[in-house]
Amino acid sequence: MSRNIAVIVGSLRSGSLNRKLASALADMGAGFAAFDILPLGDVPMFNQDLEDDVPAPVLQLREKVRAADGVLFVTPEYNRGIPAVLKNAVDWCSRPTGKGVLAGKAAALAGMSPGAVGTAVAQSQLKPILVMLGMRLMGQPELYIQGGADYFDAAGRPADERSRQFLANFLKRFEAWIG
């Protein structure tokens, strides 16, 4: 595999829909890249006082993002917004100012929620942040899925062919976007 994709999931819950979506995308995209779902549970809340002695989980997060050819953000939507854990990861990866690991990286957004608008609002809040940080954000296709646990089959794949094709198209476009 010639590419590495860092996957940042905005949920810490092991059984979250977005973690399942990230895993399904990683499995489906294994033919063009190695997908690494990055652990965020031990990453402390951003605190500029820690920048002189950066915690090990932050250094590991930064290194994995630095080494990646692209970053896939998979976000739930909490109270019509970006989850704190996802914003925290972005903040740590953007620091110190001028030396962050996000600028120039190809990026894509995905998300899933049982709510009527999927994760469209959270993604719309995340987009200008990533662009301001210099990421090359893929605009189309947008991937915000309205669905629940029944979206996936027992093996963790999308349960219906139409959904599998939609995700496959998203991955194909992301592969082309990375270049």
Assigned token pair, 33: 């890249």
Give the pLDDT confidence score for residue 1 in this predicted structure.
Answer: 55
Element (H, E) at 144: strand 144-146
* pTM score: 0.97
Backbone φ and ψ of 46, nearest 5°: -60, 135
44 alpha carbon, distance to own chain's centre? 18
In the chain, which stretches have pLDDT less than 70?
1
Q: What is the 8-class DSSP label of residue 32?
A: T
Could you give the domains of the chain? 4-178 (3.40.50.360)
Give the pLDDT confidence score for residue 2 in this predicted structure.
Answer: 81
